[in-house]
Amino acid sequence: MLQVDRLLLPDSDELPCSDDIPVDNEDQNYVPNVLLFLLEYLWKTRGDWFFAVDMGLYHTTGVNPRVPVVPDAFLSLGVERRKGGGSRNSYVTWEEQYVSPILTLEVVSRTPGGEYDDKLALYARLGVLYYVIYNPRFWARDGHLPFEVYKLVDGVYRLQIGEPLWMPEIGIGIGRCVLPTDVLGRELLSWFDEKGDRYLSPEEQEQQRAEQERQRAEQERQLTAQERQQRERLEAFLRSQGIDPNNLPDEPSE
């Protein structure tokens, strides 16, 4: 780590919030934002995490602490959800007790951005435990898989096997999916539980509740119809025996 006097380091108000480099495909915005919105729902009662999309990450592991790395997304644990009750312009590690992200995400674009070499080395220096590279469009060009998760083991990233991949240190898994609610059928990334089941979005949960209610109402309708049919059959049998089902004798008292 670059040894820098804490008093000489700039504060977040002095630093640009991003590198102002535009994304070259919509996946770079869409995929991480879906992860953010779902995490906002899943961890809505927690205040010890921060998930950023396209935000400058300032650190002291490079040659200049004023030059950020800008992942497509990153997750930090053990920090304030809302720093000082407000929002962050950027993530400045020396203002976060040097807590580095536990996960970073890069969505590979048309123009390679060093995802498999320069950023791999940089995130290793930062101590990022999980590094996710999502490359659905250019994986063949780059000689990699469309979805890769690396874990930092003894200072070296090791490609992990399995999808969705459970990350016990975070308490959540990550993998690819297509949301059934998406009429465009786009592939994206989502969060999964330890059993490998995808966490549902609020919209999906509402649809699930509505479907369960519809099924419950249908079961009640069918049960009512069955009871009516049984009653009609009994009444028909009584009439065949010369008994008026509407004028049955009272049961004898004991």
Please write the tens of the pLDDT for every residue from 62-120. Answer: 888 999 999 999 999 999 999 888 999 999 999 999 999 999 999 998 888 899 999 99
pLDDT of amino acid 1: 47
**pTM attached to this predicted model:** 0.77
pLDDT of amino acid 17: 55
3-state secondary structure of 53: strand
Domains observed in the chain: 6-199 (3.90.1570)
Please name the helix (run of DSSP H) or strand (run of DSSP E) that holds residue 151, with its range, or none. strand 147-153
3-state secondary structure of 227: helix
Lowest average pLDDT, out of 42-56, 93-107, 179-193, 198-212, goes to: 198-212
Length of the chain: 254
Query: If you average pLDDT over every residue of the chain, what do you get?
Result: 87
176-195: average pLDDT: 93
Confidence of residue 237 (pLDDT cuts 50, 70, 90): confident
Please write the tens of the pLDDT for every residue from 132-167. Answer: 999 999 999 999 999 999 999 999 999 999 999 999
In order, the DSSP letters of 122-145 are HHHHHT-SEEEEE-TTTHHHHTS-
Lowest average pLDDT, out of 10-19, 22-31, 59-68, 151-160, goes to: 10-19
Report the share of the chain in percent with pLDDT over 70.
85
Structure-model confidence comparison of residues 128 and 209, the more confident one: 128
Closest by alpha carbon to 149, among 162, 139, 140? 162
Confidence of residue 199 (pLDDT cuts 50, 70, 90): very high
pLDDT of amino acid 21: 55
Structure-model confidence comparison of residues 185 and 205, the more confident one: 185
pLDDT of amino acid 210: 66
